[in-house]
Amino acid sequence: MAEAETTAPAPKAQADAAAETARRKGTFYIDLRPRLMRLPSFREKERINIRYPLIYPYSFAHIFWDEKNKELVYFVEEPILNDTEREILKLIQLGLEEMINVSFIKAKELNIILDYLERNVQSILIELGTKVSKETYQKMMYYIYRDAVGLNQIEPLLNDYYIEDIECNGKGVPIYIVHRSYENMRTNIVYRDNQDLINFIEKLAQKAGRYVSYAKPLLDGTLPDGSRVNATYTDDVTTRGPTFTIRKFTKEPWTPIHLIQKGTATAEVFAFLWLAIEHKFNIMCVGETASGKTTFLNAIIHFIPPEARICSIEDTREINIAHENWLPSVTRSGFGIPNILGKMYGEITLFDLLKESFRQNPDYVIVGEIRGEEAYVLFQGMASGHPSSSTFHAASVETLVRRLQTPPISLSPSLIESLDIVCVLTHIKDQEKSVRRLKEVDEVIAVKDAAGAVDYNRVFLWDPARDTVQLRGQSYILQRMIKQSGKTIQDFGSELKRRTLLLSKLAEMNITNYKEVNQVLNAYYKNPQAVLDNYGIQA
């Protein structure tokens, strides 16, 4: 079996040197650098048989065609322990529960954590009077790291760059993953014991800083790496037993340049949205589940001017931007018995945070996702001149307006008219590809009645045949910009062209790091001609 070709990002030399030093000293070392593969095409799925490292050199992903079940599967390969090694490992783990100082959990450097664990493990081995071989010691240290610092059996999955979702449907059922290239795949990880699964849900809650119990069996939170977790705690809520779903997010947020390179939208679309954001128009990103709404929203808010004050409000922390004048807020769950309004003591909701945000003098308000009563406050803010952006589950402008007008949101047509631009995203999945595309960009002109009738102008539309987003015609928003600024249509046309060329140049030069992109955009606000000259752009 040929192993997939891998490339590791910098600084490779330093990490390799550290690994070699650790090997010479006989200490435990792991390499968590993501591996970027040239993955085989899904078209020949019966021939796929690849293996690549997850937590090197101990755990690997093995993706292959299961001839018996006629499906592509994802197996995690880890070191095999014999009965004696498993018994010693169990004794060490019991000893660590008594010895570990809680303060070490706050350490962020991996080498500090590993050094601390090793010292404790060695003390326990001396106390037990047990000698183990170097190979056995390294294997046991891997499992101690995996279970004490990581998230047990699924820790290798969390280190796979290509995994988007990790899904557990209950006891005795294989965990499934959603792979960037191969979509849904069954894994060889199965929780056999109900209590083990309950303990793991409690661990997820602890990592997310949330509370879960039989009285409050639903968990919704964010893990330390930014991944979003949703879980259930009891089998009377989900009949197969406790469940969890983890939506992974990249450590570095995606920028408009990433999305241009991926074909999600064109540089011209982002140049148009850049102008709209600069001139404080309200934008909503809509689409079905996993269509890339939050990723797209996070990308376009990089266009907010550097001096502007941003207030972001979310259930679980997902928005991440390199902006100094930014106040991020998240909701907090309460405790105790709910009051007559169904709210628990100490609970802070999106509605509460949104009301407070308008007293914090924001230039821009960003809400991660609106679902209920907070929509009323958000649209009141839009109507009163606070430029706002958010995401919403809807397949089109018409669906969005209908959902906003019906319970539990029940907004009036006049309030909905405060919305200026709707970006509709879609996730295209079939046997050969899995891509996310900006389906259309629409401008809301008027909401005619309470039945959901809406008059809108479609500016950009995705052409599936050519797989590109094309300009449909004149922009109603652009005409409003002209009236507000006193500039001519030629001025805005030239500016749109310059920004399109700049974004295209950044994509061509592969400048994708969100901090670098942010620096370029901020510099453009201060001295556009200097930035254009720097990149050799003449327009």
Question: Does residue 243 sit in the same domain as residue 261?
Answer: no
Is 293 a member of any domain?
yes
Mean pLDDT (whole number) for 229-236: 92
Structure tokens at 313: 């409000």
Domain that holds residue 200: 163-251
Is 36 a member of any domain?
no
Q: Is the dihedral of CA 86, 87, 88, 91 positive or negative?
A: positive
pLDDT tens digits for 205-224? Answer: 999 888 898 888 999 888 98
Long-range contacts, stretch 35-41, CB < 8 angstroms, 24+ apart: 35/6, 35/7, 35/8, 35/161, 36/6, 36/7, 36/8, 36/9, 36/161, 37/4, 37/5, 37/6, 37/162, 38/4, 38/5, 39/4, 39/162, 39/181, 39/182, 41/432
Structure tokens at 353: 């945070």
pLDDT at 107: 54
> What's the pLDDT band for 109 if we cut at 50, 70, 90?
confident
Contact 292, 256 (CB under 8 A): no
- pLDDT of residue 39 exceeding 70, the answer is yes
pLDDT at 473: 80
Question: Does residue 224 sit in the same domain as residue 296?
Answer: no
Question: Does residue 237 sit in the same domain as residue 262?
Answer: no
| Identity of residue 366 | I
Q: How far apart are CA 211 and CA 197, in angstroms?
A: 16
- HSE of 478 in the Cβ direction (CA atoms, 13 Å)? 21
Question: Does residue 290 sit in the same domain as residue 228?
Answer: no
Show the DSSP H helices in 129-266 as ranges: 134-148, 155-158, 194-208, 256-262
Cα 181 to Cα 72, 253, 428, 434: the distances in Å are 12, 20, 12, 7
> What's the pLDDT band for 355 if we cut at 50, 70, 90?
confident
Is 448 a member of any domain?
yes
pLDDT at 318: 83
Q: How far apart are CA 209 and CA 53, in angstroms?
A: 30
pLDDT at 55: 95
pLDDT tens digits for 308-342? Answer: 999 999 987 888 888 999 999 988 877 666 777 66
Is 500 a member of any domain?
yes
Q: How far apart are CA 31 and CA 332, in angstroms?
A: 35
Structure tokens at 24: 């010479």
Cα 225 to Cα 100, 208, 445, 531: the distances in Å are 22, 10, 41, 34
Contact 284, 422 (CB under 8 A): yes
pLDDT at 507: 97
Percent helix / strand / coil, the chain, rounded to 5: 40, 25, 35
Cα 357 to Cα 165, 272, 368: the distances in Å are 32, 27, 14
Neighbours of 94 (CB within 10 A): 10
pLDDT at 21: 52
Question: Does residue 222 sit in the same domain as residue 307?
Answer: no
- pLDDT of residue 300 exceeding 60, the answer is yes
Number of compact structural domains in the chain: 2
CATH number of the CATH domain containing 184: 3.30.450.380
Q: How far apart are CA 266 and CA 438, in angstroms?
A: 9
Mean pLDDT check: name the lowest of 81-90, 257-266, 355-364: 355-364
Residue 402 φ/ψ, nearest 5 degrees:
-60, -45
- pLDDT of residue 16 exceeding 70, the answer is no
Q: Which of 210, 227, 251 is the last residue of a domain?
A: 251
- pLDDT of residue 25 exceeding 60, the answer is no
Q: Which residue has the higher pLDDT, 458 or 101?
A: 458
Strands of 300-447, DSSP E: 310-314, 326-330, 364-367, 388-393, 421-429, 434-447
CA dihedral 356, 361, 363, 368 (to 10 degrees): -20
DSSP string, 151-185: -GGGHHHHT-TTEEEEEE-STTSEEEEEETTTEEE
Q: How far apart are CA 140 and CA 121, in angstroms?
A: 10
Q: Which residue has the higher pLDDT, 419 or 486?
A: 419
Question: Does residue 327 sit in the same domain as residue 408?
Answer: yes
Structure tokens at 446: 């008027």
- HSE of 359 in the Cβ direction (CA atoms, 13 Å)? 5
Task: Give Dmax (Cα) for the chain.
Answer: 84
Q: How far apart are CA 225 and CA 227, in angstroms?
A: 6
Question: Does residue 318 sit in the same domain as residue 375?
Answer: yes
Question: Does residue 310 sit in the same domain as residue 223?
Answer: no
Is 32 a member of any domain?
no
Is 350 a member of any domain?
yes
96 Cβ neighbours under 8 A, 6+ residues apart: 117, 120, 121, 124, 144, 148
Q: Is 359 helix (H, G, I), strand (E, B) or coil?
A: coil
Question: Does residue 511 sit in the same domain as residue 401?
Answer: yes
Q: Is the dihedral of CA 364, 368, 371, 372 positive or negative?
A: negative
Question: Does residue 246 sit in the same domain as residue 362?
Answer: no
Q: How far apart are CA 152 and CA 249, in angstroms?
A: 19
Mean pLDDT (whole number) for 462-472: 91
CA dihedral 218, 215, 201, 297 (to 10 degrees): 20
Cα 148 to Cα 7, 116, 167, 233, 240: the distances in Å are 29, 12, 22, 21, 27
Please state, rounded to an integer, the average pLDDT across all residues of the chain.
88
CATH number of the CATH domain containing 317: 3.40.50.300
Question: Does residue 274 sit in the same domain as residue 377?
Answer: yes
pLDDT tens digits for 129-160? Answer: 999 999 999 999 999 999 988 999 999 999 99
Question: Does residue 373 sit in the same domain as residue 514?
Answer: yes
Q: Which of 251, 274, 300 is the last residue of a domain?
A: 251
pLDDT at 26: 60
Q: How far apart are CA 288 and CA 387, in angstroms?
A: 24
Is 278 a member of any domain?
yes
Is 138 a member of any domain?
no
Q: Which of 227, 251, 275 is the last residue of a domain?
A: 251
183 DSSP β-pair partners: 179
pLDDT at 15: 45
